Amino acid sequence: MHLGLWYPKGSDIETIVYADSDHAGNYVDHKSTSGVCTFMGCCLTSWFLKKQTTLAISTTEAEYVSAGKACQQALWMKQALIDYGIRLDIIPIMCDNKGAIYLRNISLEKVSSEDNIADILTKPLKREPFNYLRLGLGMMEQID
């Protein structure tokens, strides 16, 4: 109840997208969940998590699907910024699965699971990793 997102003045427009999945995380149908977080500078601008529509047979496939969703988000963001006269060359997509990275000819970059902010959307975490990733989202205690 005392948490909110922090959006400082004069934030950078550099855009970065984090993607993750929980391979076969659903206990009923064993489908994976995709999680995506989009940042402009240090500010979280959008996020979503969604159960994947197909059954992934490997962690690489589940992560690849999440990376695809992240690419869709990055392309949408890139087009939306053009409408405001802002052109971005490359929007990095951060992914913690090397197999998924090697399958794509885009700027997917390796990020450790501990630093993958989208992990907070796809798996249960202990208090310390949760709080660390929560801060990565820009969510912090409100000051009265």
- Per-domain residue ranges of the chain: 13-141
CATH architecture of 13-141: 2-Layer Sandwich (3.30)
Measured between alpha carbons, how far is 10 from 13 in angstroms, rounded to an integer? Answer: 9
pLDDT band of residue 101 (cuts 50, 70, 90) is confident
* Max intra-chain CA distance, the chain: 49
Tens of pLDDT, residue by residue over 55-72, are 999 999 999 999 999 999
Taking the model in full, what pTM does it have? Answer: 0.79
CB 96, CB 64: distance < 8 Å: no
